[in-house]
Amino acid sequence: MKNPAIERLGLESVPQNLKTTTWFEYFIIQLAFSVNSGNFLVPALAVMEGGLSMFWAILSTLIGGTLAFFFVSVLSLPGARYGLPAQYVIRSMIGTRLSRLIASPVRSLTSLYWFSVQTIGGTLVVLSLLKKAVGVEFPLIPIAVSLALIMTILALIGFEAVKKATKLFMPFLLIGQAAILIIFINTSANGSGINVLFSGEGFSIGAFVFFASLAFVQYVSGVSASSDITRYAKSGKQGFWGLFAGNVFGFFMTALLGTFSAALFNNLNPFVAATEQTGSVLLTILIGICAMVSMISINLSNAYTGGFSLLNAIPSLGRVKSALVFGAAGIILSCFPALVNNAKDYISLLGAFVIPLSAVIVADFLYIKKARIPDKDLERLASGTFQYNQKAIYTLAVALFIYFLIPEGWSPGFISFLLTFMMYSFISKQSSKNNVNDYKKSRHA
């Protein structure tokens, strides 16, 4: 059967005949998602505000990001195995009501935030290029709205649009990234901060751990969305390794360019910094194209997964309406550049909700369920009888309180995730033991 022009599969399972995507295709998709304006922020801030040298900033954020990507890849397995979207699968872990009322709104807000950040970052690049080309400063809002509208339409089309677009964009992305790297290397070779870039100085254990934590917080929220992408995978292994390899390699390039830009030019956006350093029209065009396609690629993901989160929260909307509502909200938020200027504060605030929730989801699937969803849970998922996971409610309430008690300099992201993971695992195990003991007592009574 021919695929429809607009994907209409909602919370139901993807048919087996549509599960054809290989690990390499997922590698390309995640690689295309990685190098973008929003993802440059944390590595660049590690240099500009954390005082880390380029080497230590890359290592710090790569460690935090890689740990998050592992969990994201693990939580992609239900999508690949059962063909179900992430937020729907999460119902089997924390309950239908808790998934719809808490997990899905948090995921939707996270996707909305990053959608707007990416759109604003891409718009700033466009404005910089236009000013350089014609010497005129254009207003931000009309361009931001136009770009957000284009990405909303592409996300509405569905996964096939994501896959085809990233394959088409990849050559431009690689050429553009190579051009930026060449410009930065030539600049540093001329004496602009070469000692700072590659020396072992500029290290602080506090800053190193804090920015690793911030990178972890930024990406671990993907555990509540990764199954949306891998619903079309040939197998669990194909989805897992494609996502993991693409994310790690892509983030390394992101951290390299982001820290390079910050150390050399004190600029959060390598696309903007590179265009300001070159007088070549060809290189400027290549970098501009790279910036645009990178923004479109990642926002296809943000809008696609954000739409499914909204659908799980309000199933009556349907797949198409939920995508349109999410897109409308993303277009509105893209008109507020302050979201980029205060990125560190917003990421930390989102982390207060994302980290405990992500830790509970990871603990339940990885530790309690042993990376498999039992048949009985799939049956409860279909019937909707599992409304609330009380253990998750108690854990989340305590974890949220703990997160705000941890001083910022102590890396609340790492600590909160670890404590929440252990707390939920312990409570769940104790609850299981008590149930077994109660059953034995009832049999001997």
Domain containing residue 313: CATH number: 1.10.4160.10
Q: Quick check: helix, strand or coil at residue 388? A: coil
In a domain, 5, yes or no: no
φ/ψ of residue 235, rounded to 5: -160, 170
Q: In the prediction, which pLDDT does 439 show?
A: 42
Would you give the end-to-end CA distance of the chain in angstroms? 60
- Residue 231 domain-assigned (yes or no): yes
DSSP codes, 61-124: HHHHHHHHHHHHHHTTHHHHHH---HHHHTHHHH-HHHIIIIIHHHHHHHHHHHHHHHHHHHHH
Q: Output the pLDDT for position 80.
A: 92
Classify residue 18 by its DSSP letter: G
pLDDT of residue 435: 55
Query: Count of domains in the chain?
Result: 1
Q: What is the pLDDT along the chain (445 residues), one digit of tens a residue?
A: 445 556 666 677 888 888 989 999 999 988 888 887 778 889 999 999 888 989 999 999 999 999 999 999 999 999 999 988 888 888 888 888 888 888 888 888 888 888 887 788 778 777 877 777 677 778 888 888 888 888 787 777 767 767 777 788 888 888 888 889 888 888 776 555 455 555 556 778 888 988 998 899 888 888 988 998 899 899 999 999 999 999 999 999 999 999 999 988 888 889 888 888 877 778 888 888 888 888 787 887 888 888 888 888 888 888 888 888 888 888 888 887 776 666 666 666 777 788 899 999 999 999 888 888 888 888 887 777 788 888 999 999 899 888 888 887 777 778 889 999 999 999 988 876 665 454 445 555 5
Q: Does a structural domain hold residue 295? A: yes
Q: What is the pLDDT of residue 138?
A: 80
Is 437 contained in some domain?
Answer: no
| Residue partners of 228: CB distance under 8 A and separation at least 6 | 79, 85, 86, 304, 305, 308
Residues 73-107, buried b or exposed e (16+ Cβ, 10 A)? bbbbbbbbbbbbbbbbbbbbbbbbebbbebbbbbb
* Predicted TM-score of the model (pTM): 0.84
Residue 47: predicted pLDDT: 92
Enclosing domain of residue 244: 16-388
Q: Residue 13 class from Cβ within 10 Å (0-12 exposed, 13-18 middle, 19+ buried)?
A: middle
Does residue 413 sit within a domain? no
In a domain, 189, yes or no: yes
In a domain, 435, yes or no: no
Residue type, 417: F
* Structural domain includes residue 399: no
